[in-house]
Amino acid sequence: MAKKPRSKPLLSDDKSLRGSVRKRRDPSQPNLLLDPMPCRVEPALALLKAKPPSDQRYRAEVKIDGYRLAIHIEPTGVRIITRGGHDWTERFPAIVDEARQLDVASAILDGEAAVLDEQGRSDFGALQRTLGGRGGKLPSSGSIFIAFDVLYLDGHDLQKMELSSRRHLLEQLVGDRDGPIQFSQEIEGEGGAIFRAACEHGLEGVIFKNADSTYRSGRTADWIKVKCIASESFFVVGYERSSTARGGLGSLLLAAHNGDALQYVGSVGTGFKYNDAVQLRAALDKLATKRPAVVFNGRRKDVVWAKPTLIAEIEYRAWTDDGKLRHASYKGLRDISDNAAVFRID
């Protein structure tokens, strides 16, 4: 009689899960009936759309504003890997400890690290502050991991399995935990109504995922994101001094990719906390240069130009006719090791 598995089986008696035919075994391990565990999986990314999909196969989840991470649980320990492939295990000790408590021998969980406010909304700036700011390596306190997919489980590669079945296994594994690792719940209802409700509650947006899709790395229409407020990453190419603003920082000057060059897209002067302004000005002073990284024809007083190294996450409402951001607000700095993608102008 076969031995009972130490953790939850891939197939349960009450639910038949569909998947692809198992790959051929590794000839160097002829007696091993398990799939080799990937060292890293390039994450699946959502395609930005203006409105929710009408296809009934798509399921909705709240869009989390944080750091995309993968938790690798192995017999030798737990690793936390960023979207760009960097090891951030030491930065999330509470999540690591919680991962060790899961009833599984090996797994790869896909999700997002976040800090939630009193209303349960993710706050990217608060998450960064727990890490010590951009590039900070402090152990994050108060952050949680919202798990929304499982790619590998107890020796089985699940990437060719449809999303609905992967989510079923993930829910069995994570369950109704209310600690550092939590399950991303689906939202039931019509897509348009879900999106409107999310915006009314001050959420960033909604992710819609094709329940029949396999896990495909890169940006595809299997996952679609619809944002309540536009938010993108831009280079900071300078700042405007101010004798009245917090920390002496009046506004940040921003740029986006346009072909092989950078194009000035306006400034942002709101959303800073005092400590943010002080740290930003100090960092930009170290990057100061006399030659702007963009063609600038505007008129601004007391500008300090900087090398395009810092990447800021900016919320905005729209674009002006001359290609500038409208009603922009600063959210925080992106870390290059998070594989931050600077906005590209078509």
Q: What is the pLDDT of residue 337?
A: 64
> How distant, in Å, are the alpha carbons of 32, 145, 208, 215, 289 from that of 42?
25, 18, 20, 10, 36
Residue for token pair 């320990």: 77
Composition of the chain by helix, strand, coil, percent to 5:
20, 35, 45
Can you tell me the distance from the alpha carbon of 341 to that of 334, in angstroms, rounded to the nearest whole number?
9
Q: What angle do CA 131, 135, 137 make, to 5 degrees?
A: 45
Alpha carbon dihedral 154, 157, 161, 166, in 10-degree steps, equals: 40
Is position 63 annotated as part of the catalytic site?
yes
Cβ(234)–Cβ(265) under 8 Å?
yes
Can you tell me the distance from the alpha carbon of 316 to that of 197, in angstroms, rounded to the nearest whole number?
20
Domain 44-227 in CATH 3.40.50.11810? The answer is: no
Q: What is the pLDDT of residue 14?
A: 43
What are the residue boundaries of the structural domains of the chain, listed by start? 44-227, 230-338
List 49, 51, 63, 307, catalytic entry:
63
Can you tell me the distance from the alpha carbon of 165 to that of 172, in angstroms, rounded to the nearest whole number?
11
Residue for token pair 């009833």: 103
3.40.50.300, 3.40.228.10, 3.40.190.10, 2.40.50.140: which CATH number matches 230-338?
A: 2.40.50.140
Can you tell me the distance from the alpha carbon of 232 to that of 313, in angstroms, rounded to the nearest whole number?
6
Main-chain dihedrals φ then ψ at residue 57, nearest 5 degrees: -75, -15
Chain CA centroid to CA 148, Å: 12
Strand partners, 249: 241
The tens-digit pLDDT sequence of the chain (346 residues) is: 444 434 344 344 444 344 444 444 455 544 447 899 999 999 999 998 989 999 999 999 999 989 999 999 999 999 999 998 999 999 999 999 999 999 999 999 999 999 998 888 898 888 988 888 666 678 888 899 999 999 999 999 999 999 999 999 999 999 888 999 999 999 999 999 999 999 998 888 999 999 999 999 999 999 999 998 888 899 999 999 887 777 789 899 999 999 999 999 999 998 888 888 898 999 999 999 999 999 887 777 789 999 999 999 999 888 887 889 988 999 888 877 665 689 998 7
Question: 183, 187, 175: which is closest to 144 by C-alpha?
Answer: 183
- Is pTM, for the whole model, over 0.85? no
